[in-house]
Amino acid sequence: MSKLLDGKVAIVTGSGQGVGRGIALMLARHGARVVTNDLAPRRITNAVAAPFRASALGGTAPALTQEESERFEATAGDAESVAAQIIAEGGEAVHRYADVTNHEATGDLIQAAIEEFGRLDILVNNAAGMGFGPFLSLTPEDWHFQVEAKLTGTYNCMSHALPLMIKQGSGRILNASSDAWTGIPMVSAYAAANAAVVALTKSTAKEVARHHVTINAYCPQAASPGHVSFNATFRTMLQKQGIQLRVDEERTRRSEKAHGPAENMTFLAYLASDEAAHISGSVFSVTGGGDIALYADPQHSTSIVKDGEPWTIEELRKSLHHELLIDYRPVSERSEF
């Protein structure tokens, strides 16, 4: 019986653990031959190994509870172990360690698909460096850690993959963003990188549409070491500040459902298939709990127009509140903190 992605070759960056690991396994189970990737072999087994910087805690890793440690380990690994699991399940895979922030290294990574499998049909730019903490606690090192893998890594891989896809007349690129791109507080560097990925996705999708190459962004929520570290950091930060976190059972239930196994995000396999040739330049939220949502394209909500002379202050005072800002809510009323 044929599978959705039979004959397709995929590269998944950052696929040694967490969401990337789940995506690589899922694509393979739908028939794709997969090149797995992450930075280096995994040598340690605690939260320090996660691609995560807790600037709110001075860059130190938060302490994990026993349950958190077990959740962390359940989705941890490296590119070699994930490739081995794919092969054990009857699929085809090879692994390559490479730093996606290095342009030359990403060229070698893209070439690995050609050398091993003869083509490249699917590129999933999943590698990321996560972080958490107030903007004023960010160091230059924090900024680069959170921006480089996500944004520069996506550019690097796309710059090598797109010429190949254009030449063969087809291709699917899936860029990992995050719901943080909308401006979630306490993750400003991470949010900035993800917003840039959305803009990069939308602009390049328009450029390559005529070559039958699609480019979409996905904002995943699924079980991962990074998610465990994020929750532990948030809890530890509040404890340091003497803040008692109120447990919202319904919100906790929704979060646990959303952070199900990344292997369940089969929508990404559909986006990577021939059937999704008409879907490009879009941003989706996808969870391990089965929820899929499409973001609306950004557009002006209101406007005011002046012909001739520049606006006077008196005219602005009248028009701003009665026309341009008629439904405006201050950020203090929209903030989650």
What is the tens place of the pLDDT at every residue in 124-143?
Answer: 999 998 888 889 989 999 99
Q: Are residues 272 and 213 in the same domain?
A: yes
Place of tokens 């995560």: 52
How far apart CA 173 and CA 192 sit, in angstroms, is 21
pLDDT of residue 8 exceeding 90, the answer is yes
Residue at 200 is within a domain: yes
Q: What is the pLDDT of residue 232?
A: 60
Task: Report the DSSP pairing between strands 93-97 and 130-132.
Answer: unpaired
Question: What's the mean pLDDT in 57-68?
Answer: 64
In-domain check, residue 3: no
pLDDT band at residue 26 using 50, 70 and 90 as cut-offs: very high
In-domain check, residue 72: yes
Give 180-183's long-range contacts (Cβ < 8 A, gap of 24+).
181/219, 181/283
Mean pLDDT across the chain: 88
Q: How confident is the model at residue 164 (pLDDT cuts 50, 70, 90)?
A: very high
C-alpha gyration radius of the chain: 21
User: CB under 8 Å to 100, separation ≥6 — which residues?
Assistant: 13, 14, 37, 106, 109, 125, 127, 149, 152, 153, 154, 156, 157
Local confidence band at 58 (pLDDT 50, 70, 90 cut-offs):
low
Active site residue 190: yes
Q: Which two tokens stand for residue 56?
A: 């709110």
Q: What is the pLDDT of residue 136?
A: 92
Q: Do 225 and 323 belong together in one domain? A: no
Question: pLDDT digits over 211-258, tens only?
Answer: 999 999 999 998 766 656 666 665 565 566 565 556 566 665 676 777
Indicate if 140 and 115 belong to the same structural domain.
yes
If you average pLDDT over residues 298-315, what whole number do you get? 93
Q: Give the CA distances from residue 294 to residues 217, 283, 305, 308, in Å, rounded to whole numbers and listed in that order.
A: 10, 6, 31, 40
The pLDDT assigned to 226 comes to: 66
> What total of structural domains would you count in the chain?
2
Same domain, 157 and 194: yes
3-class secondary structure, 220: strand
Q: Are 42 and 97 in contact (CB under 8 A)?
A: no
Contact present, 229 and 62 (Cβ < 8 Å): yes
- pLDDT above 60 for 48: no
- 315 and 167 assigned to the same domain: no
Position 267 in a domain: yes
Output DSSP code: residue 332. H
CA-based end-to-end distance of the chain:
51
- Per-range mean pLDDT, top range of 64-78, 213-227, 271-285, 301-315: 271-285
Query: Based on the domain organization, do 279 and 318 belong to the same domain?
Result: no
Backbone angle region of 308, left / alpha / beta, with phi > 0 → left and psi within -120 to 50 → alpha:
left
Tokens 């680069």 appear where? 144
Q: Residue 141: its pLDDT value, please?
A: 93
Same domain, 168 and 222: yes
Domain assignment present for residue 1? The answer is no
Cβ pair 178, 219 in contact under 8 A: yes
- What CATH number did the domain enclosing 166 receive? 3.40.50.720
Q: Can you list the alpha helix ranges (DSSP code H) found in 220-277?
A: 225-240, 249-258, 267-271
Tell me how far apart the alpha carbons of residues 263 and 224 are, in angstroms, rounded to a whole number. 11
Residues 55 and 115 in one domain: yes
128 lies in some domain: yes
285/310 same-domain check: no
- 167-185 pLDDT, tens digit per residue, is 999 999 999 999 999 998 8
List the catalytic residue out of 190, 218, 270, 328: 190
pLDDT band of residue 49 (cuts 50, 70, 90) is very low
Q: Are residues 194 and 156 in the same domain?
A: yes
Give me the percent of the chain exceeding a pLDDT of 90.
Answer: 69
Q: Would you state the pLDDT for residue 46?
A: 43
Of the ranges 50-59, 186-195, 248-257, which is most confident?
186-195
Claim to verify: residue 316 and residue 181 sit in the same structural domain: no
Amino acid 335: pLDDT: 64
Residue 234 included in any domain: yes
pLDDT in tens, 249-295: 666 567 677 788 889 999 999 999 999 999 999 999 999 999 999 99
What single string gives the DSSP state of each residue in 264-287? G-THHHHHTSGGGTT--S-EEEEE
User: Which residue range is the domain that position 310 belongs to?
Assistant: 300-337
Is 147 found in the same domain as 69? yes
**pLDDT number for residue 310:** 94
